Structure 1
């Protein structure tokens, strides 16, 4: 599915980083090791590399990764690109200072729960989880994201799922998005910044 979606010349979600991720630049430090989860065509991983981070950009789509490599070359940065599926991804323990999770809401609840545990596992103590996604009201806007309610995030879901972390930011808001052709228009969003304890 994603190979087909990424097949065109254009970048489906644009080439600029997600607005939430960009707003967290003050939390990032050159030399930190970062994982960009399901990074697609690479816009977020490439941006983190531009901030001086050592980035692993993972995605299941070979087509998306090829476009990500092209974007990285155009921007003059180097990343490690890895093709992998969230179903079988091995979450290396305490491996990353930053895990960026930008709109990966295609996972059904059982897989999502395993991924959430994986994010926590792969962060180093003191590491940051930067995550954004759509809330339930997004079903009214229909400007991106899944059409199934069970795949959307709520404050309660995130508070419960990351109760063992220090939540630094948890913000529900409605904002205008202009990220390529797939994320365009007023959107119901929820942002999370959480730090792993220890």
Structure 2
């Protein structure tokens, strides 16, 4: 088993079963007829939330155990989620221009994989599609209420802007905020996060 299989190998949903608050605040409307890709989705809490809104949902994650828990959660809510075993840090890990929205929540990857992760996150979306994300910022090391201990796996605003400027996306909002997170037993307490909303635009970069 890999690192994430080890973490998810429990009956409990370690990040809970409710959607991330940022995602739930941004996506509330009927998603019928729309397709959503969720990267590094883990145990499926956000995927199931979107499926309940009517989206056709696909997840891409390195944990097969997480995928099984996603499917179990989806079945318990009478919705369907298509799960795929995939490393989101490799080139063209996701199909190009296939989705109406893409999402990643706390999908922290090794620093050498960050650029390709953003490429996949943005390039999988159709023109005029929407991209949403929430990551722990580097200030999260002050709070230690979740996220990786390696500061190079965390983010700052300028770093994210650097990845986005090479890709066909317009920044709608991008900010660092200090807030409370209560997501299972792994994310609990005051947290420093970066929340982003992008719009797909322009010529596709591959």
Q: Which bin holds the TM-score, normalised by the shorter protein?
A: over 0.9
Give structure 1 stretches of 5+ with no counterpart.
none
| Structure 1 residue 155, shift from structure 2 partner | 1.1
- 1:69-114 deviations in Å (ceiling 9; x for gaps): 1100111101111122224462211111111110011x12221111
Q: How many residues align?
A: 197
**What is aligned with 2:162?**
160
| Structure 1 residue 30, shift from structure 2 partner | 2.3
**What is aligned with 1:197?**
201
Structure 2 vs 1, CA of residues 26 and 15 (structure 1 numbering), >3 Å: closer, same or farther?
A: closer
**What is aligned with 1:147?**
149
Indicate which of 168, 174, 183 corresponds to 1:170: 174
After TM superposition, the score normalised by the length of structure 1 is 0.94
Give structure 2 stretches of 5+ with no counterpart.
none
Matched residue SS, 2:138: coil
- 1:41-61 deviations in Å (ceiling 9; x for gaps): 110111110111010012211
Deviates more, 1:158-167 or 1:34-43: 158-167
**Separation in 2, partners of 1:28, 1:114:** 30
**What is aligned with 1:53?**
55
After TM superposition, the score normalised by the length of structure 2 is 0.90
4+ long deviations beyond 6 Å: none
